[in-house]
Amino acid sequence: MTGYILDKTETLSRGELAALQSERLQKTVRLVYDNVPVYRAKMEEKKLRPEDIRSVEDLHKLPFTTKQDLRANYPFGMFASPKEDIVRIHASSGTTGKLTVVGYTQNDLDVWTACMARSMAMAGIDRSSTVQVSYGYGLFTGGLGAHYGAERLGAAVVPTSSGNTLRQITLMKDFGVTHLCCTPSYALYIADEIRKMGLDMAEFELRGGLFGAEPWSEAMRGEIEKKLNITALDIYGLSEISGPGVAMECGCKAGSHIQEDHFIPEIVDPDTLEPLPYGQTGELVFTTITKTGQPLIRYRTRDITSLNAEPCACGRTTVRMNKVFGRSDDMLIIRGVNVFPSQIETVLIRAGGIEPHYQINVDRVNNTDVMEIEVEMTEEIFSDEVRNIEKLKQKIESMLYSMLGVTATVRLVGPNTIPRSEGKAKRINDRRTY
Amino acid sequence: MLNQLSVFIENKPGRLFQLTTVLAENKIDLLTLSIADTKDYGILRAITRENERAVEVLKEAGFTVSITKLIAVEVADEPGGLRDILAIFEREEMSIEYLYSYARTKEGTAIILMKVEDAEAAVRILQSCKVKLIDSLL
């Protein structure tokens, strides 16, 4: 079964949508101004009053929110509703410092579930489907988000959470799982384990997957689709905004539809913070307009992408975001050139026979940035002659140079020495000191 | 022809120790051992008493291993012994990827183990030259 449109809101005319957004934005601004001291202070600083915001046209007047604001107001300082109305609290792991907390009212959980249900409908999930949720369940929003969305559609949910890959595969086969939800790197790991077990995809009912929580390339999509013999779609979300399902790719695979009746997207220049027109690449910013627990105004996601307002062949009228190209905080500047891990991943997959597990090491030697990519030696690319291995190394290095425009050296390391992750992969080891 | 194990060894302290520990724990006896090394990694080439089991236990321990076919030639243990064999390769314009010798053998002979580009053609020619080929070191 292919994707379908669950909710007619997804096909509103642009004018109808703008009217709905304007009404909801005004309510949200009033809510945070009255209840969240940080927002009141930020607006007062700009000499803004809630009544100055009359429509989406006024959005750019509002102050930005950053992850730093969430940390500074840890744990509950950003809540706009009384604690007794909060029914769920998630937290996302920060690599440094405090956790980022998100509080949900029942209304917020309903909004999130509705967005996830729409997203899963895009992948063709319905009551006849069996959905395996291999995102982690817990403080991370992936597991529970996918779980409630699939249940809302009446699908059978297999809540495996992450880990114990052999059991994941056994259940997937025995239960006739039709759709898989996990990170794209875990999907590839599962595919490789299936192959190692000597199983054939014909023994599975698997047809589709919703993969997200980390940026991935078109090349990686090709790899997952080929190895698992499925349609692989990109799902986007972040816990601060609600969780997975903020945007989702339809079967056209031409960008992810943003649930604009709940979240207003903008693209801004990450340096000047000036809004950029549709089509231009910059940092994605969201304003939530239906949430009540912890609404966020112009939240800077750090994700680098562009927006596309062209009508989609699927019939939805919502703006689409292109694949996330990288994160403004993941972006490496090597000798003045912007480098994103996704570009390196694309090269490794194109080179063939290489595991898409890699690590980027950046050092500063004699005041020059030096980038080294660790790649695992697999049986497929191993040769017992040094010159063959050197030839392969040089091939990858020259492909990296043409993709990135800067030199990167490749270092071959033993199999399974690069840490695997069942959540988001950590790939950058920036050891530069200035 | 005989089988040799080829193992990828990352140039990191302790890797060779780990490999020999795996073999020792599984009571696998090494017959030959040589290492081709580069700055970042080495390729360990070894023949053991039980190559198939060695592949199995090394893979299990996380090593990248493959089996390579080698030609083993018995030569006279005297000056010019290896030269006489290489003369055949020279004349036939056959190239050798690498070679090493095996010393523990019967009095007056040595064994040269070599990887060549076209093993079957090399075997044919060496046989026609009455060179003694070995199929096992055991």
* Homologous superfamily (CATH) for A1-329: ANL, N-terminal domain (3.40.50.12780)
Query: In the predicted model, what is the mean pLDDT of chain B?
Result: 92
Topology adopted by domain A332-430: GMP Synthetase; Chain A, domain 3 (3.30.300)
B41 touches chain A (CB under 8 A): yes
Q: Are A235 and A116 in contact (CB under 8 A)?
A: no
Same fold flag, A1-329 and A332-430: no
For an interface test with B, give the residue of A357, A377, A384 to mutate (most B CBs within 10 A).
Answer: A384
Report the alpha-carbon distance of residue A182 to residue A162 in Å, rounded.
8
Question: What is the model's pLDDT at position B112?
Answer: 93
Q: What tens-digit pLDDT sequence spans chain A (434 residues)?
A: 479 999 999 999 999 999 999 999 999 999 999 999 999 999 999 999 999 999 999 999 999 999 889 989 999 999 999 999 999 999 976 544 568 899 999 999 999 999 999 999 999 999 999 999 999 899 989 999 999 999 999 999 999 998 899 999 999 999 999 999 998 888 988 998 999 999 999 999 999 999 998 778 888 899 999 999 999 999 999 999 999 999 999 999 999 999 999 999 999 998 899 999 999 999 999 999 999 999 999 999 989 999 999 999 999 999 999 988 777 777 788 887 778 888 888 888 888 777 767 899 999 888 788 999 999 998 888 999 999 999 999 999 999 999 888 899 999 998 888 877 655 567 888 888 76
What is residue A162's predicted lDDT score, i.e. its pLDDT? 87
Q: Which residues of A touch B36 (CB under 8 A)?
A: 386
* A/B interface, count of CB pairs below 8 Å: 51
pLDDT in tens, B29-68: 999 999 998 988 999 999 999 999 999 999 999 999 999 9
Q: Are A267 and A305 in contact (CB under 8 A)?
A: yes
How close does chain A come to B108, measured CA to CA in Å? 31
Mind telling me how many Å the CA of A58 is from chain B's nearest CA?
A: 58
| Alpha helices for B1-138 (secondary structure H) | 15-25, 51-60, 81-92, 119-128
- State the pLDDT at residue A1: 46
Q: How confident is the model at residue B104 (pLDDT cuts 50, 70, 90)?
A: low
Q: How is residue A222 written in tokens?
A: 């090709």
Please name each of the domains of chain B with its CATH number: 2-68 (3.30.2130.10), 70-134 (3.30.70.260)
Q: Which residue of A382, A411, A417 is in closest CB contact with B40?
A: A411
Quick one: pLDDT at residue A95? 44
Which residues in A lie closer than 8 A to residue B12 (C-beta atoms)? 414
| Nearest-neighbour CA in chain B from A377: distance (Å) | 7
Q: Domain locations in chain A? A: 1-329, 332-430
Instruction: Return d(Cα B22, Cα B43) in angstroms, integer.
Output: 17
**Residue A243 burial (CB < 10 Å; 0-12/13-18/19+)?**
buried
Q: Which of A128, A208, A204, A210 is nearest to A169 (CA)?
A: A204
Sort strands B96-102 and B109-116 into parallel, antiparallel or unpaired.
antiparallel
B6 touches chain A (CB under 8 A): yes
In angstroms, the CA A194 to CA A122 distance is: 26
Residue in A with minimal Cα distance to B96: A385
- Which stretch of B18-22, B98-102, B134-138 has the lowest confidence by average pLDDT? B134-138
- Does B13 or A79 have the greater pLDDT score? A79
In 10 A of CB A204, how many CB atoms? 20
| Amino acid in the structure at residue A387 | R
Chain A residues touching chain B at CB-CB below 8 Å: 377-379, 382-386, 389-390, 411-417
Give pLDDT, residue A423.
56
DSSP for residue A177: -
Rounded distance between C-alpha atoms, residue A73 and residue A78, angstroms: 6
Query: In this predicted structure, what is the pLDDT of residue A22?
Result: 98
